[in-house]
Amino acid sequence: MAGEVVINEQRYNYYQHTYEGFQLFSATAVGNASHAILAEILLDGASVPTARNIIVGDSVEQVQKAYGPGKEDNSDNQHWLIYKMGEKQLMFEIDQQKVSHIMLNTTMSAEQHEVSADQAIALATNAIHTYHLTALDDQCLRYDLDDTSEKAFYIITVREDNHDVSCGGDPDISPRLFDIKVARDNTQILTNADNADGDYRSLVPPATNNQ
């Protein structure tokens, strides 16, 4: 557990979950474990893209082409490009004109009824790592997001991506591996990985907390 915060007279336990290339910060209401919020996602590696395919290492120009000019913040000797999306805030830390960190956070005073597309991709990536859904390295995977086909779910198609020379395959071919469905209300994660019939099974990724 990373700490405790009090919001609107409700106490929350704050947890940090660390994985290769990214960190998740969640908050659970004390006395009501079912009331959980994914408060923040921090990407510090190039293996996990945003919903608009921006990764750590991309240029300022690529970020602004994907998201617009944004709002600049130069406080605390750090340079950030900030994009507000309702109760969520997407932030890109810029160092030498390149993205060094990507952060998505949620205003915890607001009820989080729906996860964003970026959160859905992060949750899908977490599930791939937790359940070892593929033996391929992160740099050899591509995530195609479908947020229109199903009202209750984001559908993330995971494909082989051989643009990195370490992957060894044909860079012009991106075969589909499997799909992951993330419920918009953050209650379910499903996948058809390892199922020849294409049927989905439920995943409930266990979180590894840093004490």
Per-residue buried b or exposed e for 82-95, using 16+ beta carbons within 10 Å of the residue's own CB: ebeeeebbbbbbbe
Tell whether the torsion through CA atoms of 52, 200, 194 and 119 is positive or negative.
Answer: positive
Backbone angles phi, psi at 122, to 5 degrees: -65, -40
| 168/124 same-domain check | yes
Backbone angles phi, psi at 76, to 5 degrees: 55, 35
Summarised one tens digit per residue, pLDDT across range 48-93 is 888 888 999 999 999 999 888 889 998 878 999 998 865 678 999 9
| 98/23 same-domain check | yes
Where does a domain end: 106, 133, 157?
Answer: 106
Summarised one tens digit per residue, pLDDT across range 8-32 is 666 778 788 888 888 888 877 777 6
| 211 in a structural domain | no
Token code pair at residue 68? 């617009």
Considering its fold, how many domains does the chain have in total?
A: 2
| 164/81 same-domain check | no
| 18/87 same-domain check | yes
34 alpha carbon, distance to own chain's centre: 21
CA dist., res. 162 & res. 173, Å (int): 8
15 class by beta-carbon count within 10 Å (0-12 exposed, 13-18 middle, 19+ buried): buried
Where does a domain end: 41, 76, 106?
Answer: 106
Are 40 and 103 a contacting pair, CB within 8 Å? yes
Domain limits for position 84 = 3-106
What is the reported pTM?
Answer: 0.52
**Local structure of 90: helix, strand or coil:** strand
Single-letter residue type at 188 = Q
